[in-house]
Amino acid sequence: MLLDGDQLVLIKRTRPDRDPYWVTVGGGVEADDESVEAALHREVFEELGGTVEGAERVYLITDELEGGIGVQHIFAARLVSVDLAARTGSEFGKPERGGYEVVRIPFTVAAVRELHLMPPQLGEFIAANAGAIVSVLDTPVRKV
């Protein structure tokens, strides 16, 4: 999840076959990503033309899939820059996949609960931990 000041940056997904829903920026780890965090930085650039700082893994979601287990690594980070004209994600060239509108909402429990955020566990996590998420991002890193 990306914070820009006191706002949460999301993508509103619109598809012809379902009601609108909201997702955080993200995607899969690719073979040439050096780490899960490197995948986060790549995805932020692909989907927002953006950069982030202070990325902290705050939550894991485990999904049982055919043939194995899927793990979603949820990071919280501060958005540093955005250039929507620089987006490079393959989804933007496929109109049949629907719309990808970048939206900002207040980072409050009430605002998060009003959304159809996917996956649902993420909305529940944010609502239960909004203060802690801000605290983690606002705590200076100590060098030992």
Model confidence over 43-98: pLDDT tens digits?
999 999 999 999 999 999 998 888 889 899 999 999 999 999 999 877 777 777 78
Phi and psi angles of residue 80, each rounded to the nearest 5 degrees, phi first: -100, -45
Question: Could you identify the residue written with the tokens 């009003």?
Answer: 114
Contacts 24+ apart (CB under 8 A), 132-141: 133/1, 133/3, 133/58, 133/76, 134/3, 134/107, 136/56, 136/58, 136/76, 137/3, 137/54, 137/56, 137/76, 137/77, 137/78, 141/54
Beta strands in 107-144 (DSSP E): none
pLDDT tens by residue, 26-45? 988 999 999 999 999 999 99
Distance of alpha carbon 93 from alpha carbon 38, whole angstroms? 23
d(CA 21, CA 122): 13
> In sequence order, what are the beta bridge partners of 77?
2
**If phi over 0 gives left and psi between -120 and 50 gives alpha, with beta otherwise, what is residue 98?**
left
Pairing of strands 99-106, 7-15: antiparallel
For the chain, state the CA radius of gyration. 15
Which CATH code fits 2-138? 3.90.79.10
The pLDDT, as a whole number, for residue 141 is 55
CA triple 81-85-87, angle to 5 deg: 75
d(CA 21, CA 13): 5
Query: Residue 143: is its pLDDT beyond 60?
Result: no
> Which tens digits make up the pLDDT trace of 117-130?
999 999 999 999 99
Extents of the domains making up the chain: 2-138
